[in-house]
Amino acid sequence: MRSDRTRSIASIVLATLAGLLIVTGTIAAYASTQVIDHDAFADRAVAALDRDAVRHVVARELVTALVDHGSTDLVAARPLLESVVDGVLRTDPFRRVLRRAAVEANRVFFSRNGSRLTLNVADAAAVVRFAAQSVSPKLAREIPSNLQSTLLSVQRREFAAGTLSVADHVRALGVILPLCALLALLGAIAIAPERRIGVLRGGIALAAAGVLLAGALLILRARTLAGVFGTDELTNADVRGAVGGLLSAYFGDLLTWTVALAIVGLVIAAAAATLDPARVEAPATRLRRALLRRPQATWQRALRAVVAIAAGIFVALSPLVALQIVALLLGAYLVFFGVGELLVLLQRPAPAAQARRGRRRALLT
């Protein structure tokens, strides 16, 4: 009994450690593959332009730069110029300009290949000028052709000691921490006196890590947006909408990862807590019977009919969302079923079975 108690405590410690490693490992792995990687970083910068709030702020800032450095006629033509710029932001040429700038910015911050970042509106102005030719040749002529207005200039020596060191550590931790988390989970299951309880603790650790990380991301997003304020050209709502769009573009998938992690953990914990390893197919059988059996009470039949009609309307109006929901439910059940199958393999033999095996060995020897 003392040995079982010690192993149970060790299993709890390992499961808790696994939860902490999952939180930090998920952050490190996401940052390494989706932020520090220059291609992923640039792709997300371009994807941010699909959000209206981000495109509105970029268009306003670009128009302001063109008007400030162009002729006075651009002031009167500003509404037309804003319309042209808004259309330009949706085109592939401008997105290529933005992607190139994002790659250079990423290399300066996180790679040893870049030494200086200088962003100006010259390339963007050239794209706007070309697009304005088809709308108003006069407007195109008013846009300066030698515009070199610098928006940002940063030299590597200003921050290299910080960002490069962080990037190197994050790349390594993005691989090491998830592996350590997996080993800790396996250890928590292997060392537990009862494997089912070990799997239950592992599922709880996954779910807790997902919930903790999702909550932290939502709180951080809210605090970030609360600290953002507008300028003379842009209102607080404009700037906060753009910052929110950028946060969604860069970290929205991380929130999806954490929610999926929490769901998988809850399903594993539920399977370990309720499923009989000897009857893995029982939940599917009960679910099928519940769906196909006609209710006896009139109100139950009426309720089922209303639910079926509502579900049918929802599927007809939002087929993609309905398909995603079905895929989510199917994935959750497959995880549930797979955990049950593993519990059959992990389950320790009962004392009677061990005794029979012992007697068989004695007879054979």
- pLDDT tens for residues 86-105? 788 888 888 888 888 888 77
What pLDDT score does 345 carry?
67
What pLDDT score does 343 carry?
67
- Distances in Å between the Cα of 100 and the Cα atoms of 57, 94, 114, 294 are 20, 10, 13, 62
What pLDDT score does 147 carry?
56
Mean pLDDT of 328-336: 73
Q: Which residues lie closer than 8 Å to 152 by C-beta, 6 or more apart?
A: 117, 118, 119
Q: How far apart are CA 84 and CA 134, in angstroms?
A: 10
Mean pLDDT of 291-316: 80
Task: Using pLDDT thresholds of 50, 70 and 90, give the confidence band for residue 349.
Answer: low
Q: Which residues lie closer than 8 Å to 333 by C-beta, 6 or more apart?
A: 284
* Nearest by Cα to 188 from 9, 51, 315, 359: 9
Query: CB of 344 within 8 A of CB of 199?
Result: no
Q: How far apart are CA 206 and CA 336, in angstroms?
A: 14
Q: Is the pLDDT higher at 253 or at 293?
A: 253
For the chain, how big is the Rg over CA atoms in Å?
Answer: 29
What pLDDT score does 24 carry?
92
Query: Among 108-112, 148-152, 160-164, whose mean pLDDT is lowest?
Result: 148-152
Q: Is the pLDDT of residue 154 over 80?
A: no
Query: CB of 31 within 8 A of CB of 168?
Result: no
What pLDDT score does 180 carry?
94
Q: Is the pLDDT of residue 70 over 60?
A: yes
Read off the tokens for 8: 């149970």
Q: Is the pLDDT of residue 11 over 70?
A: yes
Tell whether the torsion through CA atoms of 272, 273, 277 and 279 is positive or negative: negative
Mean pLDDT of 11-26: 92
Q: Is the pLDDT higher at 201 or at 104?
A: 201
Q: Using alpha carbons only, give the angle 171, 184, 174 rounded to the nearest 5 degrees.
A: 10
Q: Is the pLDDT of residue 119 over 60?
A: no
Mean pLDDT of 116-132: 64
Q: Is the pLDDT higher at 329 or at 222?
A: 222
Percent of the chain at pLDDT exceeding 70 = 75
* Helices 160-191/92-110 angle, 10° precision: 80
Average pLDDT, rounded, for the chain: 77
Q: How far apart are CA 78 and CA 216, in angstroms?
A: 42
* Total Cβ atoms within 10 A of residue 124: 24
Residue 202's Cβ-side half-sphere holds a number of Cα atoms within 13 Å equal to 24
